Amino acid sequence: MATKKTSSKATAWESVQLARNPGRPNIYEYIENVCSDFTELHGDRLFGDDRGMIGGFATIGGKKVMLIGHHKGKSVEENVEANFGMASPEGYRKAKRLMTLAEKFHLPVVSFVDTPGAYPGAEAEARGQAEAIAHNLEFMSTLKTPIVVVVVGEGGSGGAIGIAVGDQILMLENAVYSVVSPEGCASILWRDGKKAPDAAAALKITSDSLLKLGVVDGVIPEPAGGAHKNIKATALAVKKAIVAALDELAKVKLDDLVERRYAKFRAMGNYFD
């Protein structure tokens, strides 16, 4: 289950490399090892079906949920199909459609975050990328059903937060979660992408740092060497953490849950000496 501290000795840059490891479990591997059943739903009913965002009805530990998450492929073909985990507007609109169903059928939402960021292409911008993500933030902040978020790999910028407004935010030990990539930050601050390791440390993107800052609520330990070393053990730890979080949230009245979720995100960035 999720803990309040980690035993990771990895530096911030090492965590970035582990989070990006191509052998790290993707959404379908979590579905296979965490869910006892899964029925995938397709399309946003406006434009198309984004393969970079997966979702559908699932059962986790005997609990019916609506599962959504970014998809990174394992092969070149899968990565191209899924756009390397960078969702387009139709992906975020599909996620919103599925969350609407979750609220209608009184199902909690479980969200798996693993993306370098939302797709920045001209066609995505033309179809309203920023608008789609912004609507998700607004929508999730008042969704009347529990939301559990697990950052399992990269949590990149708006692409991550578009499905990450939750009541319980969990992170795998070597996952990262940031407003910008270390390379992007280094290019902005020093105009030198080679300073990405320095940027990674400065950004406080690791699970330890984010737990201390109150951005995440719990850290899920990984096997020695990273999640890719033992996918089944990683998935079991994730499953236990999700079930524990759902049990805790089930004790809270929905109106109180929504109010608490809204206050949680409004309070981020407020610091007191």
CA distances from 49 to 52, 137, 182, 193 (A): 9, 20, 30, 34
Q: How far apart are CA 106 and CA 117, in angstroms?
A: 30
Residue 3, pLDDT score? 56
Within a domain: 273: no
Within a domain: 160: yes
Bridge pairing between strands 176-178 and 63-70? unpaired
Helix (H) or strand (E) holding 39: strand 35-40
Total domains in the chain come to 1
Residue 22, pLDDT score? 93
Does 146 have pLDDT greater than 60?
Answer: yes
Within a domain: 223: yes
Task: Specify the length of the chain in residues.
Answer: 273
66: Cα separation from own chain's centroid = 14
Asked if 171 and 151 count as a contact pair (C-beta separation under 8 A), the reply is yes
Q: State the DSSP string of 181-195.
A: -HHHHHHHHTS-GGG
Residue 7, pLDDT score? 46
Does 244 have pLDDT greater than 50?
Answer: yes
What predicted TM-score, i.e. pTM, was given to this entire model? 0.92
Print the domain residue range for 54: 12-264
Per mean pLDDT, which range of 144-153, 163-172, 206-215 is the poorest? 206-215
* Ramachandran region, residue 262 (left: φ > 0; alpha: ψ -120 to 50; beta: rest): alpha
Residue 68, pLDDT score? 98
For the record, the structure tokens of 51 come out as 């393969």
Q: What is the pLDDT of residues 73-125, one digit of tens each?
A: 888 898 899 899 999 999 999 999 999 999 999 999 999 999 999 999 999 99
Buried/exposed 56-84: b ≥16 CB within 10 Å, e otherwise: bbbebeebebbbbbbbbbeeeeebeebbb
What is the band of 270 on the pLDDT scale with cuts at 50, 70, 90? confident
Residue 6, pLDDT score? 43
Within a domain: 4: no
Residue 220, pLDDT score? 97
What is the band of 235 on the pLDDT scale with cuts at 50, 70, 90? very high
Within a domain: 2: no
Within a domain: 269: no
What is the band of 1 on the pLDDT scale with cuts at 50, 70, 90? very low
Burial class (CB in 10 A: 0-12, 13-18, 19+), 33: middle
Within a domain: 5: no
Task: Identify how many contiguous H helices and E strands the chain contains and give both numbers.
Answer: 12, 8
What is the band of 245 on the pLDDT scale with cuts at 50, 70, 90? very high
What is the band of 53 on the pLDDT scale with cuts at 50, 70, 90? very high
Mean pLDDT, rounded, of the chain: 93
Residue 5, pLDDT score? 47
Q: How far apart are CA 78 and CA 101, in angstroms?
A: 28
Residue 8, pLDDT score? 52
Does 253 have pLDDT greater than 60?
Answer: yes
Neighbouring residues of 150: CB distance < 8 A, sequence distance ≥ 6: 110, 111, 112, 113, 170, 171, 172, 220, 238, 241, 242
CATH number, domain containing residue 170: 3.90.226.10
Q: What is the pLDDT of residues 169-220, one digit of tens each?
A: 999 999 999 999 999 999 999 999 889 999 999 999 999 999 999 999 999 9
* Ramachandran region, residue 114 (left: φ > 0; alpha: ψ -120 to 50; beta: rest): beta
Asked if 177 and 169 count as a contact pair (C-beta separation under 8 A), the reply is no
